[in-house]
Amino acid sequence: MAKKIPEFSKEDLSKMLKDFWYGKPHGERRLGELYIDKKGLYKHREWRGVKDTMYYFYMIWLYNYIHMVRDVIRFGGVVNFAKGVWRYRWVGQTYLPVLHWFDRGLEGLRGEALKASAWHYRGMVASTIRQFQRMFAADTRLHGGKQNEIYKHNIAHNETVWGGVFYPWSDQYQNVPIEMIPYFVTCHVNCHTVLNYIDAVQSIGLPGDPCPMCQAEAGIFVLDDVPDYAPIVVTCNEACDASVSTSILQDWFWDKPLYALPMPMQFDDPLVKKYCMQEIEGMWKFVEEQTGVPFNWNQLVKKLESQNQLQEFEWEKWEVAAHSNYYPVNGVAQALYRIYQSQYGDWEIWHFCDKKVRKIMEKCVKKKINSFPNTRHRVIAWSCAPLFFSHWCTWAYNCWGLNVIINMDSLMFDMTIRTDSYDHALEDMAQYHMWAPMRRMAVGGMAHMFELWDYMQRFNCDMVAMYDQLQCKGVQGIHGMFEDEFRERNIHAFWIPHALPDSRTVTRAEIRRLINDYMTTVMHEEPLDPSLLDFDDSMGW
């Protein structure tokens, strides 16, 4: 019997052509059906309409592959890169599939939002390559034990030490955070790599309940997976006492001249600020003595003023995000770029990307382009995010119309730094240093944690995504008070429990289920894309 051929009406054909040309409208996309079960790979990448698919193909996928190769060549060469990939798990296992990190974060985006968010990712990729290539170019392990000129011109420091404190030497020395690339960024790109390091530190008998970030940062040393790339090191106690333990292990395993730069907990006290200023000056003396190069005030001013430009543009972005629907950056791009840029410090790539984003944002404002037209709720995300699922906000918008406008990590360094005198610069630098990630609004006292209410109003948000880092004693201690405040203020808030980098404690699927439950049982809403409600990506990057 001959098969019945489905009939196509003119309307069907016209709809098909329209979907091909413009891409399917939000409610019809069924993005969850693109995934290969468990692996998180795509059966095929999303068809976003001719214009946006071609933009993604040429200006994101191809552009970034080409520029990654270019960055590898200009920041240390292919040979150093190949040696590094062969020697260090965190680079080989993590950074090769980096374009999938783009895919996850940019899923479902169209038009100006796709362009602006992708520029944020480009900035982070360039900065990541610059750092690990600098490590490999200097690494004594990759160069027969020799300390070359690059090695002698590096300063290593904890990722929680703001890179700006090294500006006075930035014309001759490069500061490279120890853990930012081997640990922090890896969790976002491939969430499995970090598990090796968490398990390693527990395998030597250390307890499993402290912050898994600190565990992982110590674990890369336990597994001897840190390049030997600098003669001196600066550590700090941020975010908590677990970080101090990490520094002790790092000091033991690395055995280098070390300066411990403290970061006060109670930073509102003016006396504590003076103490912090003295500590920064102490660290400067240490660098002068170790390198033999004097403090360069002009270089400090030059870099601080350059960094201030980045902050001023960030304020402009916040204004657009707060007072209009024309902000073209999605939640994950906003969060990651901002914390990366503000913590690492000034560098040319941030200015380059900001220039591109400014052009796009100005176009959106001028032409009144709403890049997130299916927004049902304007969400503020508070506390520390799950690193293995930082792209949850992309999923939440596609599935539920939850648009994360701003997040806590973006808001911490809410200041420029005065450069009119040495005293003013030092005072502001101390303030900036003390407002570090996970310090000001995560463990910096109740008043700062409760800055949420002001920022919620300022950004016109009607819902809170409250992160609940299960192994952070600081945030756990205030959980109940937040619950009380949400009830008293009649604020819609859902909790996202997680163990920062450890994707085994609370999985991505469990986080999605918790949000789904809240949206159906409390908000009584229907999903925009039901195919995204429940899927298995447990093996995915």
Site size for another protein (CB under 8 A): 42
Q: What amino acid is encoded at 315 in this protein?
A: W
Residues in the chain, overall count: 541
**279 makes contact with another protein (CB under 8 A):** yes
Does residue 99 belong to the site contacting another protein (CB under 8 A)?
yes
Q: Is 16 in the site for another protein (CB under 8 A)?
A: no
100 binds another protein (CB under 8 A): yes
- Does residue 43 belong to the site contacting another protein (CB under 8 A)? yes
- Among 32, 92, 445, 497, contact with another protein (rule: CB under 8 A): 92
Q: Does 292 bind another protein (CB under 8 A)?
A: no
Distances (CA, A) of 129 to 125, 250, 347: 6, 23, 13
Q: Does 363 bind another protein (CB under 8 A)?
A: no
User: Quick one: 32 or 527, whose CB is closer to another protein?
Assistant: 32
Query: Cα(327)–Cα(317) distance, rounded to whole angstroms?
Result: 7
Residue 34 vs 412, nearer CB to another protein: 34
Q: Which is nearer to another protein, 86 or 315 (CB)?
A: 86
Taking Cα atoms as reference points, which of 442, 441, 331 lies closest to residue 377? 331
| 285 part of the interface to another protein, by CB under 8 A | yes
Query: Could you say whether residue 89 binds another protein (CB under 8 A)?
Result: yes
Does the footprint of another protein cover residue 82 (CB under 8 A)? no
The residue among 257 and 373 lying less far from another protein, judged by its C-beta, is: 257
Strands (E), 483-527: 492-498
Reduced to 3 states, what is the DSSP secondary structure of residue 340?
Answer: helix
Q: Which two tokens stand for residue 287?
A: 């660098």
Strand order in the sheet with 154-157: 174-177, 154-157, 233-236, 258-261
**CA-based torsion, 108, 111, 114, 117: positive or negative:** negative
The rounded distance, in Å, linking the Cα atoms of 41 and 99 is 12
* Residue 522: CB minimum distance to another protein, A: 36
Contact flags string 294-333 toward another protein, x per CB under 8 A: ----------------------------------------
CA-based radius of gyration for the chain: 24
Q: Is 24 in the site for another protein (CB under 8 A)?
A: no
Residue 22 binding another protein, by CB under 8 A: no
Shortest spacing between CB 259 and another protein, in angstroms:
7
Site for another protein in 183-212 (CB under 8 A): 204
- Which helix (H) or strand (E) covers residue 65, if one does? helix 63-74
- For residues 187 and 402, which CB has a smaller minimum distance to another protein in the complex? 187
> Site for another protein (CB under 8 A): which residue of 16, 50, 62, 415?
62
Binding piece for another protein, criterion CB under 8 A, among 55-63, 105-113, 235-243, 503-511? 55-63
For 234, the 3-state DSSP assignment is strand
Q: How far apart are CB 222 and another protein at their closest, in Å?
A: 6
d(CA 34, CA 366) in angstroms, rounded, equals 35
First to last CA, the chain: 47
CB 5 within 8 A of CB 508: no
Which listed range, 41-49, 124-132, 353-361, 416-424, lies at the site for another protein (CB under 8 A)?
41-49
- Decide: is 63 part of the binding site for another protein (CB under 8 A): no
Contact call for residue 257 and another protein (CB under 8 A): yes
Task: Decide whether 11 or 255 has the Cβ nearer to another protein.
Answer: 255
Select 154 or 471, whichever has its Cβ closest to another protein: 154
| DSSP annotation string for 451-479 | THHHHHHHTT--EEEEEEETT-HHHHTTH
CA angle 139, 160, 539 (to 5 degrees): 75
Residues sharing a CB contact under 8 Å with residue 187, sequence separation 6 or more, in sequence order: 193, 194, 387, 388, 500, 501
Output phi, psi for 382, to 5 deg.
-125, 150
Least spacing, CB of residue 372 vs another protein, in Å: 25
DSSP lists the bridge partners of residue 494 as 465
Which residue carries 């032409």 as its tokens? 367
- Answer yes or no whether residue 42 interacts with another protein by CB under 8 A: yes
The whole-angstrom separation of Cα 148 and Cα 144 is 10
Q: Which is nearer to another protein, 256 or 363 (CB)?
A: 256
Residues in 213-252 that interact with another protein by CB under 8 A: 221-225, 251-252
* Interface residue list for another protein (CB under 8 A): 39, 41-45, 57, 61-62, 85-86, 89, 92-93, 96-97, 99-100, 103, 204, 221-225, 251-253, 255-259, 278-279, 281-283, 285-286, 289, 541
